[in-house]
Amino acid sequence: MLFNVPNSLTWARIALIPLFVGVFYFPDRWLDVDGKNLAATLIFIVAAVTDWFDGYLARALNQTSAFGAFLDPVADKLMVAAALILLVQLSRVDSIIAVVIIGREITISALREWMARVGESAGVAVAFVGKMKTAAQMTAIPLLLYDAPLLSVNLRVVGEILIYIAAALTLWSMGYYLHRAMPHLVQHDRKVRGKNT
């Protein structure tokens, strides 16, 4: 189903991405730098909250769907990629960090698609290390977007530490998922070679 309550929230999250990026292109007479940072931070937080709500509502309203299962992670990855690219442009995140995180998402998405195709999707189910990576990443990004002290705490420094932790967990989780998938990859190749001989 393309449009139900959870999917509508997911579509709304995708629709927020142009606004999220566009905020930084507003003329300074509309929003100063601090205003742009605050607006982008709030949009990102709203998107993160809708991510939790669409999953909760899909289960509570019994409106889970194959399309929703596809669209939800796509929306998440688009928002995170947009945020990281913006932060690189704003010189708040090193480009290598963005490459590591975005590259991992592409790799694991492709791996999950392949594993689902051969009926082994359970082999790359979300693991605790993946949840830790997501928590660090989703905390770091709004702190780096806000980029101002709060209650005498330098949020940019905290955000930088967390994004490096997220990058390390990203590599760890990618290695974990590839290690879990490797026996299935090898077994599939053997079956294919067996059929061809």
What are the beta bridge partners of residue 18? none
Please give the backbone phi and psi of residue 150, each rounded to the nearest 5 degrees, phi first.
-140, 120
115 confidence band (pLDDT: 50, 70, 90): confident
User: What is the Rg, in whole angstroms, of the alpha carbon atoms belonging to the chain?
Assistant: 19
| Residue boundaries of the structural domains of the chain | 1-76, 92-181
Amino acid 177: pLDDT: 81
Of all residues in the chain, what percent carry a pLDDT higher than 90?
Answer: 43
> Could you read off the pLDDT of 118-161 as tens digits, one per residue?
666 555 566 688 888 889 999 999 999 998 888 888 899 999 99
Poorest-pLDDT segment among 109-113, 118-122, 168-172: 118-122
Name residue 150's beta-bridge partners. Answer: 153
Q: If pLDDT is split at 50, 70 and 90, which confidence band does 187 have? A: confident
CA distance 56 to 5: 11
The predicted pLDDT at position 64 comes to 75
| Confidence band of 2 (pLDDT split at 50, 70, 90) | low
- Which pLDDT score is estimated for 108? 84
d(CA 149, CA 191): 58
With contact defined as beta carbons under 8 Å apart, do 80 and 105 qualify? yes
